[in-house]
Structure 1
């Protein structure tokens, strides 16, 4: 190994090649999106925690999806917001590798969680009488833990294969974070094994799960069409359509990014797709579930009603206390 293939201490993130004024504007806009992501997913978690009617397998998986979305956005977006306001955009080697690991781990886990959610809807609609027995607490906990474990192990494989590579320079990542394909472009050795593992992971994590989701929903659609009650069909379509919207956004952007043929400007295309993948998807997920799901909207109304009733009682107690004090 030559002298310029020594241990890398830091990378430079090129980010978005825009004027300072536009970068400041984007920083403010993306900050709002990030706050909406935290508030939206936090509200979903709070509603599921506070409303006992949402303590069901479907919302158990939805709470895991909300946690993953918060973690996923928090891994990439704060650094991006800081770099938009700074002229010097650098990241140390170890934090860069950690960012790559967390990015891939959260992405893999979200793919598997979405599959578990489609399986939950399949059991609920196609086998309603056995739903409680099949999706009991122990089973859904095992499914959630398995999703997280598989996602983390696959991410670890990617990171181990990256660490074996030498980086000769220039150490400039043409991205706004340490995305795995952008990091591999800086290696001064053959990355064929990394590319093969990434492709295999895409087949295992994207194509395979997407096929399972489509098979589940073909059975679900057939079962919904057999439901006699119009209200029952409407409720089933409501919960399933929300999940299908999330699946379409997530898997669609991921497949285009990692499996579609590259254009003449692949790096700029990947930056835009990564922005959608790491910021817009986590922000849109709670909006989709809250706007299209009657149970979530009902839970929000009940929580707000309880809070209003509690506030009224507190005010009445304070008023009664003041009246008692004035009489004395």
Structure 2
């Protein structure tokens, strides 16, 4: 089992890191480059995850109404719940898919850092013996050049992170990277939640809201125990996620902590405003195209009504596809 794990995940990560190291001559930059490349590959899954999370939060009030109406009839409740999901184009399982993909990559990065720090087959507690050119040759992909001499150990330091004098294979002695990892995780978690929360949150949505505050603390704790290179990977992947969310979902709940962000529109805000205008136009077309006596009042961005209208419109589009 270990051989399969190494062959399909750990050794590919090592190959990517060594290839990036050969280009940049800096192991820290190599980790960042590989992280960005992986995030770009996983971008479609990220969009699916965020949209699924938002859709589940948007249908929260409707699910609460169904529970009040059919709470004692579990079969009827399940039928109506699935009907609601179909109408809104929601698939609850899609929100878990990216996590199932990202967790093996995180574990593979951890195992790769150990093997590159203590040698292939090494582990925590042994004498630090960075991966040599001869060792890398045994797992090297044929199309990747070997930048290391046979007896030369990989330089695990990052010149732009001077306090990590022991290299990225050791833990961060002053906990800078773990704290940064926790802070960026908090920002990403808050941005993933809608700016206007429904009044009646589903238990799943309440749990996600709570995890936005617990998970950063967990991140700091584990990042302080593991190699600094793994903490750097987490910082890089979370920063990339923040940039993605800026374009896809906007500031989200981050505006509650930093109110001045409300005055800085994001591409996601502009897309939401455009979607609301399209929703109004669609309602007018459904009414037969007759001009109303008074123009409907625009929905305020981030309001619960706006989210529900946008959710209904998205559901109609998904069903048409």
TM norm structure 1:
0.28
Quick one: higher RCO (CA 8 Å, sep 6+), 1 or 2?
1
